[in-house]
């Protein structure tokens, strides 16, 4: 490592944002939980005791094993117990988190790219393009995003031939959640663009023959990084919740690739018969994930802009 | 005043027309109605005949006009899945949803405003901190999870309240079935209403708190304090009234959101409302029901928006003057 | 103190106001002392950030937390008011000390009519009926120069122009007949053409009622025309205080002389126009000794070591500058 990168690392550590991070126990704990969950999800195939997707590894006799107790028939014992099909709950949670995080991150990324692009266009072009985009944004904002996502999901299912519905489901889900969530990004970027557009360097760029849009992107993106990061973090929590909700409703990921929402849906069916662990552990995992990301977002918002309460 | 209302109504009509267009596009182009209605073995000639009879060969604008005309009369066709008129299906399930939405809306508003004001005034108190912390957990808890956990606690473990359905219902008039009039109907409402209202309550609470803190920082509150007005007059007269102006708007819009969010709650509690109907139509690509539901939600949103605007107008004298023009 | 011959209405002694922040405690006011006699108009000048408004807030007991009075005392007719319980202090606000804020556009609650706000204020402090309070309110509005007061009283604030609104604000501040009115830059936000009128109205009514005024402004011209005495604040400290004529014509503190240079006067001494280089220090970087030492052209050793105390320079005229003691200027 060169001294240059070392000093820039040191500068990052000393920056206001890191100062605020180091002095916020909530942010540290939330950050640790998110990091832990993300790592566990990333390395699920290596750390999970079993592979819940491998039908050959499943033994129906293992079903409904309570946590930390040997199964009545097979004598196998699982830390968090097993579900109705004999799948290890810990493993399904690890793999499920992987899917939840993947869908959530992809959806936010999609919303971010779409929102920033449309925001730049609306802010730079102005006129009817701006009017149209912002009207769409207004209408969309006045409807709950989960409804928009459901609708887009329903339409997409109608448009996709039945044979491909299962394989395309995850991508449809990502697009549906992403499309329901671009507005916030677009608004921030549009505002910043409108402010910057009128500044002299943009006019000057035109004179020297550089494309003003290129210059705008170069100048605006750093300016809006803060708000975009905040919206993105809070958006990630929302996307994770949206995915879980859709999967819980049975319209999300296919049952062959259960996400946390699917697991909770399965667990709910065994509430009355007393197999509480099938429901409880995935619920805790989802709550820990959503809450930690939300807390990080909240902290980030306060740290980047102390005026926002 | 009249001009203002007229303009708003006109805007609402435009929004409705756009939603109708989306709805129609859904209806017409998503999934093939012919194959859905006729099955695999129908001949091409049969299909063509049906296509002609249903008017599917007419120009787009004619079809759209037909769609709107029929929609205005409440005709959204037949559900692919249930083989019943869509309008009948929706109407028979609407009372369940409206009763649920009403109760949770009132809960959310009353507790949201109450907690919001309290946490704004006692900013550093331990109870405020506790409420704010719990509210953050509330925002992070997906609605369905709240419902499931409530069922687990109150229906399975404690066995205090029913976990699904509406309980015993009573018919009022021709098509309104209410759960308000029987003990089991009321008991059945509690858990779903809390589930549905909790998220909105947190939103309203955080909004009221933020607005109230903002208002408490304004010059006119400082001036009111400098005149020695009592805390009660300042907090509940001056500050709360100003806080409520933006809160009314958002809360009104939340009412629409509640009806939409009812989809989730109704699924969790097997509540026989329109939300459960809609989710099944998405699952089975039952396009006429989806289209009709979309129109219904749009109507509700537009009507609520209109009412909110009028309320806003009634609360804030500044708006009245701009409209009235030559006042003084 | 020998500057005041009769018992003062308001007496501020060694007032210290502090704001704790992440990077240490800021001293916004540092041992500020002055008196206001009954019926007197005291002008308070200084750059923004010098502590003028905070002095006003401290007197009326409305310093925004986390700011707090960390030392000294404030007495109203000899009775200490800086440490009163909230409810007792509330009864003094409006009733004995009135306050006029800077911006009339934001000082009035937009959702209540002028009548509602006036009547509420009157009835908070006086045991009168609704109709009696209303009659008083109309008379008050009439007195501050609102035409057709009986009719306009039921209008909302946004119906009034800026100047008219500031008259309403004055009416509100005076509604319960306070003995002291703190006017915090009452004309800064107004159109130049109405500034003088507003000051006149304020001064006249207070004179009629024998109320004292503490007029906070950065405009020495206003002070010269209106005040009996003037206090000059610099970096949270009183630099100079004395009768207006004395201070303007024979300013002792180099900072005051600089301020005088900033306004054009019709009087003599135009050759004495002084420019002050530099800017007032931030509250977290006030130098040792005299706060003015980095900008002072007459600075010498002692200014870096010891903080100058207020001392008599002429009858009723006090200056916090070592030059005065050394017999300079």
Asked whether the beta carbons of C61 and C99 are under 8 A apart, the reply is no
Asked whether the beta carbons of C94 and C101 are under 8 A apart, the reply is no
Residue A6 pLDDT > 60: no
Instruction: Sort out which chain C residues have CB atoms less than 8 A from B318's CB and list them.
Output: 110, 156, 158
Asked if C62 has any chain B CB less than 8 Å from its own CB, the reply is: yes
3-state secondary structure chain C: CCCCCCCCCEEEEEEEEEEEECCEEEEEEEEEEEEECCCCEEEEECCCCCCHHHHHHHHHCCCCCCCEEEEEEEEECCEECCCCCHHHHHHHECCCEEEECCCHHHHCCCCCCHHHHHHHHHHHHCCCCHHHHHHHHHHHHHHCCCCCHHHHCCCCHHHCCHHHHHHHHHHHHHCCCCCEEEEECCCCCCCHHHHHHHHHHHHHHHHHHCCEEEEECCCHHHHHHHCCEEEEEECCEEEEEEEHHHHHHCCCCHHHHHHHHHCCCCCCCHHHCCCCCCCCCCHHHCCCCCCCCCCCCCCCHHHHHCCCCCEEEECCEEECCHHHHHCCC
Surface-to-core class of residue A224, CB atoms within 10 Å of its CB (0-12 exposed, 13-18 middle, 19+ buried): buried
- Picking from C18, C27, C15, the residue whose alpha carbon sits closest to that of residue C284 is C27
Instruction: Sort out which chain B residues have CB atoms less than 8 A from A142's CB and list them.
Output: 253, 256, 301, 305
- Is pLDDT larger for residue A49 or for residue A235? A235
- Is pLDDT larger for residue C52 or for residue A82? C52
> How far is Cα B129 from Cα B150, in angstroms, rounded to an integer?
24
Q: State the pLDDT confidence band at A309, using cuts at 50, 70 and 90.
A: very low
- How far the first Cα of chain B sits from its last, in Å, is 17
Q: List Cβ neighbours of B57 (8 Å cut-off, separation of 6 or more).
A: B51
Asked if C116 has any chain B CB less than 8 Å from its own CB, the reply is: no
Q: What is the DSSP string of A141-193?
A: HTS-HHHHHHHHHHHHHHHS-GGGHHHHHHHHHHHHHHHTT-HHHHHHHHHHH
B286-300, C96-110, C143-157, C255-269: lowest mean pLDDT where?
Answer: C255-269
Asked if C137 has any chain B CB less than 8 Å from its own CB, the reply is: no
> How far is Cα C325 from Cα C329, in angstroms, rounded to an integer?
10
> How far is Cα A103 from Cα A242, in angstroms, rounded to an integer?
10
Q: State the pLDDT confidence band at A90, using cuts at 50, 70 and 90.
A: confident
The conformation of residue A66, written as its DSSP 8-state character, comes to: P
Asked if C108 has any chain B CB less than 8 Å from its own CB, the reply is: yes
A137-151, B69-83, B313-327: lowest mean pLDDT where?
Answer: B313-327
Q: Is beta strand B176-178 parallel, antiparallel or unpaired with respect to B170-172?
A: antiparallel
- How far the first Cα of chain C sits from its last, in Å, is 24
Asked if B328 has any chain C CB less than 8 Å from its own CB, the reply is: yes
Q: State the pLDDT confidence band at C273, using cuts at 50, 70 and 90.
A: very low
Cβ–Cβ gap B145/A287 under 8 Å: yes
Cβ–Cβ gap A139/B256 under 8 Å: no
CATH class of B86-317: mainly alpha
Q: Which two structure tokens, joined as six digits, stand for A275? A: 């197999």
Mean pLDDT of C189-204: 87
- Picking from C101, C239, A67, C188, the residue whose alpha carbon sits closest to that of residue B220 is C101
Cβ–Cβ gap B219/C107 under 8 Å: yes
Cβ–Cβ gap B253/A142 under 8 Å: yes
Rounded to 10 deg, the angle between the A145-159 and B274-283 helix axes is 30
Which of C111, C155, C161 is most worth mutating to test chain B (most B CB atoms within 10 A of its CB)? C111
pLDDT tens across B50-100, in order? 777 766 677 778 888 888 888 888 888 888 778 888 888 888 888 889 899
Q: State the pLDDT confidence band at A308, using cuts at 50, 70 and 90.
A: very low
> How far is Cα B146 from Cα C162, in angstroms, rounded to an integer?
53
Q: State the pLDDT confidence band at C252, using cuts at 50, 70 and 90.
A: confident
Instruction: Sort out which chain B residues have CB atoms less than 8 A from A248's CB and list them.
Output: 142, 144, 264, 267
> What is A11-50+80-308's CATH number?
1.10.3720.10
Q: List Cβ neighbours of B238 (8 Å cut-off, separation of 6 or more).
A: B220, B221, B224, B229, C109, C112
> How far is Cα B193 from Cα B161, in angstroms, rounded to an integer?
12
Q: How far is B231 from chain C (nearest CA, A)?
A: 9
Per-residue confidence (pLDDT) for residue B54, from 0 to 100: 67
> How far is Cα B101 from Cα B264, in angstroms, rounded to an integer?
12
Asked whether the beta carbons of C212 and C224 are under 8 A apart, the reply is no
Chain B, 170 to 229: residues with Cβ < 8 Å from chain C are 218-220, 222-229
Mean pLDDT of B190-218: 89
Question: Could you tell me the residue ranges of all domains in chain A?
Answer: 11-50+80-308
Q: Which two structure tokens, joined as six digits, stand for A269? A: 């069916």
Per-residue confidence (pLDDT) for residue A10, from 0 to 100: 65
C19-23, C67-71, C101-105: lowest mean pLDDT where?
Answer: C19-23
Asked whether the beta carbons of C117 and C109 are under 8 A apart, the reply is yes
- Is pLDDT larger for residue C71 or for residue C282? C71
**Counting one residue from A and one from B, how many pairs have CB atoms under 8 Å apart?**
108
Judged by phi (left if over 0) then psi (alpha if -120 to 50, else beta), residue B55 lies in left
Q: How far is CA C149 from the centre of its chain?
A: 29
Q: For tokens 């708007």, name the residue.
A: B249
Per-residue confidence (pLDDT) for residue B316, from 0 to 100: 74
- Picking from C204, C145, C215, the residue whose alpha carbon sits closest to that of residue C180 is C215
Asked whether the beta carbons of C182 and C97 are under 8 A apart, the reply is yes
- How far the first Cα of chain A sits from its last, in Å, is 40
Judged by phi (left if over 0) then psi (alpha if -120 to 50, else beta), residue B165 lies in left
Q: How far is B245 from chain C (nearest CA, A)?
A: 10
> How far is Cα B174 from Cα C255, in angstroms, rounded to an integer?
87
Instruction: Sort out which chain B residues have CB atoms less than 8 A from C156's CB and list them.
Output: 317-318, 321
Instruction: Sort out which chain C residues have CB atoms less than 8 A from B245's CB and list them.
Output: 111
Q: How far is C143 from chain B (nearest CA, A)?
A: 19
Percent of chain A past pLDDT 90, that is, above it, reads 9
Cβ–Cβ gap A290/B149 under 8 Å: no
Q: Which two structure tokens, joined as six digits, stand for A39? A: 């790592």
Q: State the pLDDT confidence band at B140, using cuts at 50, 70 and 90.
A: confident
Residue A289 pLDDT > 50: yes
Q: State the pLDDT confidence band at B322, using cuts at 50, 70 and 90.
A: very low
Question: Could you tell me the residue ranges of all domains in chain C?
Answer: 10-96+178-326
Q: What is the mean pLDDT of chain A?
A: 80
Cβ–Cβ gap C101/B226 under 8 Å: yes
Q: How far is CA B301 from the centre of its chain?
A: 7
Q: Is beta strand C180-184 parallel, antiparallel or unpaired with respect to C212-216?
A: parallel
Per-residue confidence (pLDDT) for residue B31, from 0 to 100: 62
Residue B192 pLDDT > 80: yes
Q: Which two structure tokens, joined as six digits, stand for A56? A: 């050959």
- Residue C73 phi/psi, 5-degree rounding, is -150, 155
Chains contacting A (3 or more CB pairs within 8 Å)? B
Q: Is beta strand C229-234 parallel, antiparallel or unpaired with respect to C237-243?
A: antiparallel
pLDDT tens across C304-319, in order? 888 888 888 888 888 9
Q: Which two structure tokens, joined as six digits, stand for C151? A: 């009719």
Q: State the pLDDT confidence band at C256, using cuts at 50, 70 and 90.
A: confident
Per-residue confidence (pLDDT) for residue A239, from 0 to 100: 92
Q: Please, which contacts does A267-272 make with residues 24 or more away whose CB atoms are closer than 8 Å?
A: A267/A83, A267/B148, A268/B148, A268/B151, A268/B268, A269/A84, A270/A64, A270/A84, A271/B148, A271/B151, A271/B152, A271/B156, A272/B156, A272/B163
Q: What is the mean pLDDT of chain C?
A: 86
Per-residue confidence (pLDDT) for residue C154, from 0 to 100: 92
Asked if B2 has any chain C CB less than 8 Å from its own CB, the reply is: no
Per-residue confidence (pLDDT) for residue B319, from 0 to 100: 67
Residue C114 pLDDT > 90: yes
Paired residues of C74 in beta bridges:
C12
pLDDT tens across A25-83, in order? 888 888 899 999 989 888 888 887 777 777 766 767 676 777 767 766 666 777 777 77
Query: Cα dihedral sign for B248, B189, B79, A247?
Result: positive
Instruction: Sort out which chain B residues have CB atoms less than 8 A from A298's CB and list them.
Output: 136
Asked whether the beta carbons of B104 and B111 are under 8 A apart, the reply is no
Asked whether the beta carbons of A185 and B57 are under 8 A apart, the reply is no
- Is pLDDT larger for residue B305 or for residue B322? B305
Q: What is the DSSP string of A275-300?
A: -HHHHHHHHHHHHHHHHHHHHHHHHH
The conformation of residue A65, written as its DSSP 8-state character, comes to: P
Residue C287 pLDDT > 70: yes
Superfamily of domain C10-96+178-326: P-loop containing nucleotide triphosphate hydrolases (3.40.50.300)
Cβ–Cβ gap A249/B290 under 8 Å: no
Peptide bond before residue C66 is cis, with ω within 30 degrees of 0: yes
- Residue A211 phi/psi, 5-degree rounding, is -75, 120
Residue C36 pLDDT > 90: yes
> How far is Cα B165 from Cα B212, in angstroms, rounded to an integer?
39
Percent of chain B past pLDDT 70, that is, above it, reads 91
Percent of chain B past pLDDT 90, that is, above it, reads 12
Q: State the pLDDT confidence band at C248, using cuts at 50, 70 and 90.
A: confident
Mean pLDDT of A146-168: 78
Between vectors from CA C188 to CA C183 and to CA C192, what angle results, nearest 5°? Answer: 125
- Residue C214 phi/psi, 5-degree rounding, is -110, 110
Mean pLDDT of A282-286: 90
Query: Can you tell me whether residue B284 is helix, strand or coil?
Result: coil
> How far is Cα C36 from Cα C289, in angstroms, rounded to an integer?
28
Cβ–Cβ gap B142/A286 under 8 Å: yes
């Amino acid at each position: 490592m060169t001294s240059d990168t070392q000093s820039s690392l040191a500068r990052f550590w000393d920056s206001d944002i890191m100062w605020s991070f180091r002095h916020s126990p909530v942010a540290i704990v939330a950050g640790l939980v998110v990091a832990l969950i993300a790592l566990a999800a990333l390395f699920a195939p290596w750390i999970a005791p079993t592979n819940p997707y491998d039908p050959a590894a499943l033994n129906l006799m293992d079903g409904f094993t309570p946590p930390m107790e040997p199964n009545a028939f097979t004598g196998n014992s699982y830390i968090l117990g097993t579900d109705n099909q004999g799948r290890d709950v810990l493993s399904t949670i690890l793999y499920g988190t992987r899917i939840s995080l993947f869908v959530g991150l992809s959806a936010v990324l999609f919303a971010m790219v779409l929102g920033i692009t449309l925001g730049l266009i609306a802010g730079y072009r102005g006129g009817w393009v701006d009017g149209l985009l912002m009207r769409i944004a207004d209408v969309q904002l006045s409807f709950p995003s989960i409804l928009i996502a459901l609708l887009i999901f329903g339409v997409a299912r109608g448009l996709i031939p039945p044979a491909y519905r299962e394989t395309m489901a995850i991508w449809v889900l990502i697009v549906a959640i992403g499309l329901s969530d671009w507005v916030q990004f677009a608004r921030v970027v549009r505002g910043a663009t409108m402010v910057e557009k009128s500044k002299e360097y943009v006019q000057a760029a035109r004179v020297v023959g550089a494309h003003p849009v290129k210059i705008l992107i170069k100048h605006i993106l750093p300016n809006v990084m803060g708000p975009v990061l905040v919206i993105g973090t809070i958006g990630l929590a929302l996307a994770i919740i949206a995915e879980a909700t859709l999967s819980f409703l049975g319209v999300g990921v296919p049952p062959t690739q259960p996400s946390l929402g699917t697991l909770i849906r399965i667990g709910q069916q065994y509430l009355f018969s007393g197999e509480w662990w099938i429901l409880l552990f995935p619920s805790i995992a989802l709550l820990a994930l959503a809450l930690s990301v939300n807390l990080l977002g909240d902290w980030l918002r306060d740290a980047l802009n102390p005026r926002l309460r | 005043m009249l001009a203002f209302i007229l303009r708003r109504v006109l805007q609402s009509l435009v929004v409705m027309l756009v939603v109708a267009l989306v709805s129609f596009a859904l209806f017409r182009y998503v999934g093939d109605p012919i194959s859905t209605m006729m099955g695999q073995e129908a001949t091409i000639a049969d299909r063509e005949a049906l296509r002609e009879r249903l008017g599917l060969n007419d120009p787009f604008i004619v079809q759209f006009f037909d769609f709107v005309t029929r929609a205005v009369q409440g005709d959204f066709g037949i559900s692919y899945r249930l083989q019943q008129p869509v309008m009948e299906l929706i109407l028979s399930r609407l009372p369940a949803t409206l009763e649920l939405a009403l109760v949770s809306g009132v809960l959310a508003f009353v507790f949201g405003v109450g907690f919001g004001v309290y946490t704004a005034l006692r900013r550093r108190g331990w109870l405020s901190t506790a409420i704010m912390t719990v509210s953050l957990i509330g925002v992070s808890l997906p609605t369905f999870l709240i419902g499931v956990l409530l069922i687990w606690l109150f229906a399975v473990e404690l066995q205090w309240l029913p976990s699904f359905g509406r309980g015993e219902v009573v018919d009022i008039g021709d098509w309104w079935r209410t759960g308000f009039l029987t003990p089991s109907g009321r008991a059945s409402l509690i858990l779903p209403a809390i589930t549905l209202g909790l998220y909105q309550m947190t939103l309203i609470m955080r909004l009221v708190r933020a607005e109230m803190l903002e208002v408490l920082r304004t010059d006119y509150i400082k001036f009111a304090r400098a005149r020695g007005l009592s805390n009660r007059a300042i907090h509940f007269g001056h500050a709360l009234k100003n806080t409520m102006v933006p809160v009314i708007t958002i809360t009104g819009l939340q009412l629409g959101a509640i009806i939409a969010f009812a989809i989730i709650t109704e699924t969790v509690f097997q509540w026989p409302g329109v939300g459960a109907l809609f989710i099944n139509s998405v699952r089975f690509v039952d396009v006429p029901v989806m289209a009709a539901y979309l129109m219904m939600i749009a109507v509700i949103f537009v009507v609520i928006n209109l009412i909110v605007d009028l309320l806003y107008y009634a609360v804030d004298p500044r708006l009245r003057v701009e409209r009235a023009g030559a006042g003084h | 103190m020998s500057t005041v011959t009769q018992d003062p209405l308001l007496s501020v002694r060694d007032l210290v106001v502090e704001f704790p922040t992440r990077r240490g405690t800021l001293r916004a006011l540092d041992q500020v002392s002055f008196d206001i006699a009954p019926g007197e108009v005291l002008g308070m000048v200084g750059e923004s950030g010098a502590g003028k408004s905070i002095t006003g807030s401290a007197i009326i007991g409305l310093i925004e937390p986390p700011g707090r009075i960390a030392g000294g005392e404030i007495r109203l007719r000899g009775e200490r008011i800086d440490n009163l319980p909230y409810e007792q202090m509330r009864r003094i606000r409006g009733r004995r000390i009135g306050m006029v804020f800077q911006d009339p556009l934001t000082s009035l609650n937009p959702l209540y009519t002028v009548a509602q706000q006036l009547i509420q204020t009157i009835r908070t402090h006086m045991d009168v009926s609704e109709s009696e309070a209303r009659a008083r309110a109309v008379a008050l509005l009439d007195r501050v120069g609102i035409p057709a007061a009986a009719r306009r009283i039921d209008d909302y604030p946004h119906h009034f122009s800026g100047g008219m609104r500031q008259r309403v604000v004055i009416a509100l501040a005076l509604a319960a007949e306070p003995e002291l009115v703190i006017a915090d830059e009452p004309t800064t936000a107004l159109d130049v053409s109405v500034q003088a009128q507003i000051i006149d109205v304020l001064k006249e009514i207070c004179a009629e009622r024998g109320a004292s005024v503490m007029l906070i402004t950065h405009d020495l011209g206003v002070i010269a025309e209106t005040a009996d005495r003037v206090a000059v604040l610099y970096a949270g400290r009183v630099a100079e205080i004395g009768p207006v004529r004395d201070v303007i014509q024979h300013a002792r503190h180099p900072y005051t002389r600089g301020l005088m240079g900033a306004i054009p006067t019709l009087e003599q001494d135009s050759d004495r126009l002084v420019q002050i280089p530099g800017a007032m220090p931030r509250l977290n970087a006030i130098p040792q000794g005299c706060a003015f030492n980095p900008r002072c052209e007459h600075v010498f050793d002692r200014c870096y070591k010891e903080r100058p105390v207020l001392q008599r320079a002429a009858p009723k005229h006090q200056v916090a500058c070592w030059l005065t003691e050394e017999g300079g200027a």
